[in-house]
Amino acid sequence: MAWPLLALLAWGLTPPQVPPVSQPAPVPVAAQTVPPAPAPPETDASRIARLKALVEEASQAVATEDFATASDRLDDVDVLTADWSAMLLSKPKVQTLLQQVQDLASQIPDQEGGGSGDGLKEPAEVLTLSGEDLRAELNRVRTAERDTSYDFPIDLNDKVLTWVNLFTTVKKGFIENALGRASEYLPLIRQVFSEEGIPQDLAYLAVIESGFRNEAKSRARALGMWQFIRSTGRLYGLASNHWVEERRDPVKATRAAARYLKRLYQDTGDWYLAVSSYNAGPLSLERASENLGTRNFWDLARSRWLRNETKNYVPELCAAILVGRHPDRYGIQVQPLPPFTFETVEVHSRTSLATIARLAGTDTATLRDLNPELLRSFTPPGAYTVRVPAGKGLLCSRALARERVRRPVHERIYRIRRGDTPIKVARRFKVDAEDLLAENRISRKQFRPGRRLRIPEAAPASDRARPKPLPALPYLPGADVASLPQARDTTAVPPAASPAPIQASGQAVLTAPVPQVQPPAPEPIHVQAPPPPPVQREARTREPREVRARPGDTLARLARAHGVPLGELIRLNPKAARRLYPGDPVRLPGTSKPRARRGEVRPKGGIHVVRRGETLGAIARDHHLKVSELRRWNHLKGSRIRAGQRLRLAPR
């Protein structure tokens, strides 16, 4: 009994084992909810580093011929620099990188396979005249330029004379078209250049850059009549956003080009180097000058430090000035256009162009021609100054003031479905198909199911009913650019530093520039109205024939080739009188057999040979077919065709 009693006493003296209270496990520091620290503000150095990385990636992609990746990286550059300040864009490091961006963009082939309308910029070397041809061309130029003075130095050497010969022979069609468009803008450009204090003969620089086209776009992403890239345009006050693209504005872009040229002249002290810097960039010219130890353009042009395009740039400009001042003396037939005249109206909120056209008594096409910077069929939000035809400003302002109820503008969105075409969607919303594509900045082959479209406001019934008038405005001497904004910068070119023209050995100089740039006032351009259409005795004439414009064609050349009056051709093709591209249809007067309507029996075995500039959609419209039918009959997967290709116009 002793052992059980002792065991019991020992058990009673032992304190009971209490289970430990479970404590919550410590929370890891990483798992604790801590508000994230605000991201440090991005510095200019980090922005420049990102830009440099994108440029290096694009350069490597171009080296490996991966042009799709290179194009994407250059698009990223545009997005990155879109909101940079002018001070940051003007830094030397940024300017060097942006110059590399421009060089890389020029190396990417055009994926859309068409002329981009970037003027006469020639990358190839041009063979110069020699011997008797050179002497004959020199005598012809001296005869044509008698009693003429210039405010820009012009050297009559073999390079310049070669380009004069090219402009009057091989490139005669382009020069006729360009100078025809120039007649619309030359009064405006001369006035702006005179206000900014630079030579007025520099107006013909637009012949080389764009052929006086506001919509011209180069592979290097330069845009407008004066071919500004986005960063340079922003440096000189040209906005580029969702609503406007002021690089296409002839008034603002001309002012910016004048100030840019004046700045380049102040930096170089020589007009030849200034315009070369306009083409190649100031850093490229400075680098070439340092490597050669000279500031003579002709010495630089004989070296390997400039591209062929830049070597040809000054000779092209000199030749364009010679031919442009007196085109009739060189056998160039120019069909002048009415000068760019307008009045301005202030709108205080987002307003559709159709409404402004209705209140101004005009049509939306005229408003788009006067305001090419607008990317939408509406004005931007807030106050905006709109150009209207001359004589319509007061009428439109009063009509806007009388409107008591302003309906809010609602942006209509439509998603493309299978089977939709631009014409079908346009008819559904009672708008024009071309306006629909222009509103969304897409081509017909980019019209695919699933894409979201912005529907422009339909034009009033009165605009759709009456035909669009010819773009004819009365010429008012001294009042054609009365609404131009005045120059805000009063800095002028130094009066004592107009350089003497470069004169190398064996070169003839036409005229030396005057010390103070004071060019003579521009002569008024008298616009001759086209002759009235001939009186048709009976309703014999059927639908006019159509031809497709070829490279170098003009309305004057087509009128001579087909033996038709030029005035009648202009009346039938008012848009082609303003601008004509290869592949554009041109209506010819005369009788022709009526076209086959859709649904009629077509001859089997019809073949169409694709001409240069034609598209699959245009061929389908000409033959009253569907694009899907052409694809199916010719086993095409997409819409890409090439010149010389044979297309079947009927099933087998």
Q: Where are the alpha helices (DSSP H) in 303-417?
A: 308-325, 353-360, 364-370, 393-402
Give the domain 152-338 fold. Answer: Lysozyme (1.10.530)
Helix (H, G, I), strand (E, B) or coil at 176: helix
CATH number among 2.40.50.140, 3.40.630.10, 3.10.350.10, 2.60.40.10, domain 607-648: 3.10.350.10
Give pLDDT, residue 274: 94
In angstroms and rounded to an integer, the radius of gyration of the C-alpha atoms of the chain is 33
**Strands (DSSP E) found in 47-168:** 155-156
CATH superfamily ID and name for 343-465: LysM domain (3.10.350.10)
Cα–chain-centroid distance for residue 47?
A: 28
Q: Both tokens of residue 36? A: 């994230």
Give pLDDT, residue 385: 94
Round to whole Å and give the CA distance between 605 and 599.
17
Q: Both tokens of residue 594? A: 């009526």
Give pLDDT, residue 512: 36
Note whether 366 and 406 are within 8 A (CB). Answer: no
Give pLDDT, residue 167: 93
The answer for residues whose C-beta is within 8 angstroms of residue 566's C-beta and 6 or more apart is 335, 530, 555, 556, 559
Establish how many alpha carbons lie within 13 A of residue 532's alpha carbon, considering only the half-sphere containing its beta carbon. Answer: 3
Note whether 592 and 609 are within 8 A (CB). Answer: no
pTM of this prediction? 0.57
Round to whole Å and give the CA distance between 465 and 214.
29
Judge whether 152-338 and 607-648 match in fold: no
Round to whole Å and give the CA distance between 333 and 563.
16
Long-range contacts from 566-573, C-beta under 8 angstroms, 24+ separation: 566/335, 566/530, 567/530, 567/531, 567/532, 567/533, 568/531, 568/533, 568/534, 570/335, 570/470, 570/530, 571/470, 571/530, 571/533, 572/544
Give pLDDT, residue 298: 92
Round to whole Å and give the CA distance between 605 and 648.
7
Helix (H, G, I), strand (E, B) or coil at 588: strand
State which residues of the chain have pLDDT below 70. Answer: 1-41, 79, 82-83, 106-127, 404-411, 457-544, 578, 590-605, 652
Give pLDDT, residue 373: 94
Domain boundaries, the chain: 44-107, 152-338, 343-465, 607-648
Give pLDDT, residue 530: 43
- Report in angstroms the alpha-carbon separations of 38 from 30, 35, 49, 67, 415: 18, 9, 21, 38, 39
